[in-house]
Structure 1
């Protein structure tokens, strides 16, 4: 049979190819904004005054990115959002949100006589957090299936926050190098290093934490039928984001170390709470995936012996390793795609069966099943596992 089928096609079917519109427009807009962001980042870096300062500003802004990106990638592994949306979230945070916030702050400076402390404590939170949150609102309005729970909200919001912090940090490091930072302290390379310690080492999760409050509110809101409840949850999340942001900026600019330490401990507790919430939500995703796949198997859409190799990551990896070792990389690629399609189908099927509103949910479920069936002839899985009784 393998010889008859030959190698799987290089481009395997994707659900997005069947039901999604506006993909090209999104890619083009993200590309344009990305180019603008690169130019803007270089411009902010050059405000350091020389090549060394610009290089340090860019380097220090880049250092925390792998850890931050890995954190949200790990949280998003079971029901991953399309990479283009993650990239769009990062670009929005680093470009669009920065432009909106800066524009509002410049107007506020022209209209009001504000001190630096007032700008940091009050103006920055009420301009920056709504600018970041706007991406999440637009995502729900345009692509409602991207955020359908608390974990999705945390992931998307966190990535927006990463983008915003990245661009903002370039400016802070450049200003610190030049010696025009708000706080009195060292300048040059030492000044940039001191600011990096505060922003890149001590508090790299600050902006993702603030924006995650909006993501949690929005994740809770999408499951509500009442419009009043939805608005209240989103508004509450935004209010918490602005409050946390204001507390952080106010304590940092107050000149009172004890206030800064207390605020840091408070935000650390909030971060820990959000982290626990995200991990619990991720664990629930695993249970949902397994439950839905078993139900799909009972309906005869997939074979029951496939379920372990489509759910737990250890078994999924073992299946790909087995396929690569016994049948080659093309078969391993087919197994990976089959697993991806099954995961997306299972979560969507569970949402439809539990009554959650999903645009074209039934049609998309069958489109995913069709794509799975198109890939299945090239899939080779290991021998069946003994499934625990509580999962059968």
Structure 2
């Protein structure tokens, strides 16, 4: 006797071909015979429903639903029986369990559902699970294991993500550190070069001072020589002479000779000293321009440094500038004493 899920209504066979009517009638009779009996006969009834579905569902619009109504099945119940029939026909082991009555109807429907867990189905087919209750318990266990696995996977993913982020931050920090270190090394090399240039300028300045001192000594020596010549000339004037001598002319010539000698010597020394000082001044000005150019190159480097590194570098620069400023002031002793302002101090 069919399920009383819907009001029974006779199926209309008139629209079907004769051979199709034969198939539908035969499966309907078997379905009516086996439905709601033992699990073995339920399995056969499911196969009959599957056969009718295969014949009507895809070729005769609305006839499948009409047939289900005629035998008292809802579309949902019929669909479930089609799934069971397909599984029974597709699995010799399942067909054997159904034929031997070793599986209940609820358990059979559960393992034939599209959402059935393959691992649980395998345990039913192997005989490890024989009741629907055991099946539900296994499903709960598998679900819990999946949830734990998913949670562990999520935690692992989170840990991996944190590791990658930390690695990225470390690589970025290392890159910034290397760039800052390169800038600092560049500044240190530039500072070292400037110190060498400053030391060379000091040596040139000392050499110029020594040369000037020698020139002053030569000038004093020439003055003494002129004085001696003058004294000798005065002594000659006091001595008696045999011939008439133009004393004024002799004195004039002596002075001219002495001054010419002194002028030649001191003039050459002055020219040499002036040329040396002009060369030194040009070199110092060129060095000043190079220092300004290097500073312009340093500014962008300093702007992209971290605050702590920038402060350390600037401290070193300020110390160097302080030493240079102190040495510059030392070169202005007369101006400082007179209260004159040194250019560039404001």
Normalising by the smaller structure, the TM-score range is: under 0.3
More relative contact order in 1 or in 2 (CA 8 Å, sep 6+)?
1
Higher Rg of the two aligned structures: 2
- With normalisation by structure 2, the TM-score equals 0.21
- With normalisation by structure 1, the TM-score equals 0.20
